[in-house]
Amino acid sequence: MGDLYVIRHAQASFGRDDYDQLSELGFRQAGLIETYFQKAGVRFDAVYCGSLKRQVATAEPLRSCLKADVPTEITISEAFNEYDSTAVIQTQFPHLVREDPALEQDLPRLQTDQKALQRLLERALARWLASAEPLEGLETWEGFNRRVREGVIRILTESGPGKTVALVTSGGPLSAILKMALSLSDQETVQLSWQVRNASVSTFKYNRNRLTLSSFNNVAHLEISGEPGLVTYR
């Protein structure tokens, strides 16, 4: 069987003008991922990532972990991009405020208050999951999961049996991959995504017919530094 290592991107720049870039701490986390694989002797046949800047910057150091006889290129695919959380909130916000007017005070704080963001996004996601019809500028939940699933199948087909592959993505796509492997419900999938830590490593075994979870959300490479602040969720 082959091994698929799925890595959530390191910490992005919450509260900055451009969220989609690694923070200073995020670059440290990305470097520790590389060090972990180097010391563990893990060498990849291929490295994939989404096209978001935070995903690409996390994947870049993994070039050094590619096997000597394979190209040092990283394959970038939009299939592994995160769902558009801003669009999810914007399309659902009018309905949410009608249901709970107190939520209106959270909107101005979305870029600075992580608790306000999670509170509003959780409710917006619940409505998004329940919506079968596509909204302008927003893919459906089913479409998001299909996009990720097709991307994973493409990776495993291109890589072939017995390979070791890395994929750098985000919490949402990782939860969609867990949904594939564990047959999770939609609600379980979303709830699990909130637990995914920055720069975490989850591993799967795969063959032509099956994707099996081996480990989930491992951040031992951050914890052994002795700096609790290196373990982050947002």
Token output for 110: 């979305």
* Residue 111 φ/ψ region, left for φ over 0, alpha for ψ in the -120 to 50 degree band, beta for the rest: alpha
Residue 20 burial class via C-beta count within 10 angstroms: exposed 0-12, middle 13-18, buried 19 and up: middle
CA pair distance 197, 52, nearest whole angstrom: 18
CA pair distance 207, 120, nearest whole angstrom: 39
Domain with CATH 3.40.50.1240 in the chain: 2-81+140-230
pLDDT digits (tens, 9 = 90+) for 184-232: 999 999 999 999 999 999 999 998 889 999 999 999 999 998 888 999 9
pLDDT band at 27 (very low <50, low <70, confident <90, very high): very high
Contact (Cβ atoms closer than 8 angstroms) between residue 58 and residue 22: yes
Fold of 2-81+140-230: Rossmann fold (3.40.50)
Alpha helices per DSSP H over the chain: 24-40, 53-59, 85-99, 114-130, 141-159, 171-182, 186-193, 220-223
pLDDT digits (tens, 9 = 90+) for 93-131: 888 888 888 777 777 776 677 777 778 888 889 888 887
